[in-house]
Amino acid sequence: MQHLIETQQFERDSLRKLFDLATRMEDHRDDSLHGKILAALFYEPSTRTRLSFESAMLRLGGQVLTMENGGESSSQTKGETLEDSIRVIGQYADVIAMRHPEAGASERAAAISEIPIINAGDGAGQHPTQALLDLYTIERELGAVDGAHVAIIGDLRYGRAARSLAYLLGKYDNIHLTLVSSSELKMGDDIKEYLDEHHVTYTETAELAGAMHEADVIYQTRIQKERFPTQEEYERFRGGYVITRDLADSMKDKAIIIHPLPRVGEIMPEVDDSPHAVYFKQVGYGLIVRMALLASLMDPRYEDIIR
C-alpha cells in the first residue's frame, strides 16, 4: 500500500512522470476513479487544499466525504486517538487526505492505515502536495528547474511549505537558494544540512530588496499566526516582508512570484497584475498536480510514480 507522507519519497524520474501526467490532466475530466471515495480529514481549517483535493477527485469521477475542523468533531472531543479514527474512516473511504496540527501525524496514520494516506499538511512538519505544485509551477513558468535561483521569504522556521520545497529542490542541479527571514525565523539546521548534503548552495539574509533583484523565483510566505505560541510574538514579525509593486518591477525579466496562499498583507494587491505574479495561476497548477497524485495512488496504470 502506497502513501504520500513526505517529499523525500520522490526522485527525479518519478517527479518527471508525475508532472507529465499532471500536464495531461489540464482541462481534463474522466471516470477513471469512478466508485472510489476520498475522505478529506482536516483537523485544521483549510480552503484551497481541501477544495483542491475534492475538485481533483470529482474531476476523475470519484466521490468525497469531508470533515473540516476535525479537532472539534465528536470523536475528538470524546478522546478518540488518531489511530482509531483512521481505522474507522478507512472503512468508509478508499483514500484519506489528512491535515493535522501535529508534525508527524500523517506518518502515524500511514503506519496503521489499510488505505492510502496523503499528507495535506502536518503542523510545522511537511506539506508535500504544496511543494509538488510549487515545483511544477516553477518548471511550467521557467521551462526548467535546474539552475534556478530561488528566494524563499518569510517564516522559514515554522513554514512547512518552505521546508518541503527545499527538500524537492535538493534533487535538482545547480540550485541556489536565498533564505530571507529575521534571525528568529531562520530555516532549521536540519534543512540546511540536507541542502549541504545535496550540493545546494544557499545564502541567508534579512534583506528583501537584493533577493528581489537577483532571483528567478520569489517564494513569498505568510507569517503563520497559528504556529506562534503567543499573539505578541506573532505581532512582532507580521508585516516584516512585504512585496510592493516597486519591488516587483525591480525583478529580472521572466522571474516569477509564487505564494502558497492565503496572503495576509505580504503581497500588495497592486502586484497582482504584474507579469511576474503567477500565484493565482499556481492554484490551477495545484489542481492538476493533485489529480495526478490521486491517479498515481489509485489507478494501477500509474502505480510506479509514488514508491
Q: State residue 224's pLDDT score.
A: 63
Same domain for 109 and 138, yes or no, is no
For the chain, the average pLDDT equals: 90
Same domain for 204 and 72, yes or no, is no
- Quick check: is 168 in a domain? yes
Cα distance between residue 19 and residue 7, in whole Å: 14
- Quick check: is 1 in a domain? no
Cα distance between residue 202 and residue 129, in whole Å: 24
What residues are labeled active site? 48-49, 78, 99, 127
Read off the CATH number of the domain in which 209 is found: 3.40.50.1370
Cα distance between residue 161 and residue 152, in whole Å: 10
**Angle, alpha carbons 12-58-140 (nearest 5°):** 35
pLDDT at position 59 over 80: yes
Confidence of residue 278 (pLDDT cuts 50, 70, 90): very high
Contacts of 164 (CB under 8 A, 6+ apart): 6, 7, 126, 127, 128, 130, 131
Q: How many domains does the chain have?
A: 2
Same domain for 188 and 297, yes or no, is no
- Quick check: is 262 in a domain? yes
Return the beta strands (E) in 155-285 as ranges.
176-180, 201-205, 217-220, 256-258
Same domain for 152 and 274, yes or no, is yes
Mean pLDDT of 49-69: 94
The residue among 208, 227, 230 whose CA lies nearest residue 219 is 208
- Percent of residues, the chain, with pLDDT higher than 70: 90
Same domain for 112 and 251, yes or no, is no
Cα distance between residue 121 and residue 53, in whole Å: 13
Backbone φ, ψ for residue 133 (5° rounding): -70, -30
Same domain for 140 and 106, yes or no, is no
Same domain for 142 and 261, yes or no, is yes
- Percent of residues, the chain, with pLDDT higher than 90: 75
Backbone φ, ψ for residue 94 (5° rounding): -105, -15
Q: State residue 166's pLDDT score.
A: 93
- Quick check: is 67 in a domain? yes
Same domain for 47 and 166, yes or no, is no
Helix ranges, 98-169 (H): 105-112, 128-142, 160-169
Q: State residue 160's pLDDT score.
A: 84
- Quick check: is 2 in a domain? no
Same domain for 85 and 139, yes or no, is no
Same domain for 256 and 178, yes or no, is yes
Q: State residue 220's pLDDT score.
A: 95
Same domain for 96 and 153, yes or no, is no
- Quick check: is 247 in a domain? yes
| pLDDT digit string, tens, across residues 11-47 | 999 999 999 999 999 999 999 999 999 999 999 888 9
- Quick check: is 209 in a domain? yes
Confidence of residue 152 (pLDDT cuts 50, 70, 90): very high
- Among the ranges given (46-55, 180-189, 194-203), the one the predictor scored with the smallest mean pLDDT: 180-189
Q: Which residue range is the domain that position 33 belongs to?
A: 7-126+284-302
Q: How many CB atoms lie within 10 A of CB 264?
A: 12
Mean pLDDT of 138-159: 94
Confidence of residue 239 (pLDDT cuts 50, 70, 90): low
Residue 50 pairs in a beta bridge with none
- Quick check: is 307 in a domain? no
Mean pLDDT of 61-82: 76
Which position has the grid cell 489528512? 98
* 211 sits in which H/E element: helix 208-214
Same domain for 87 and 66, yes or no, is yes
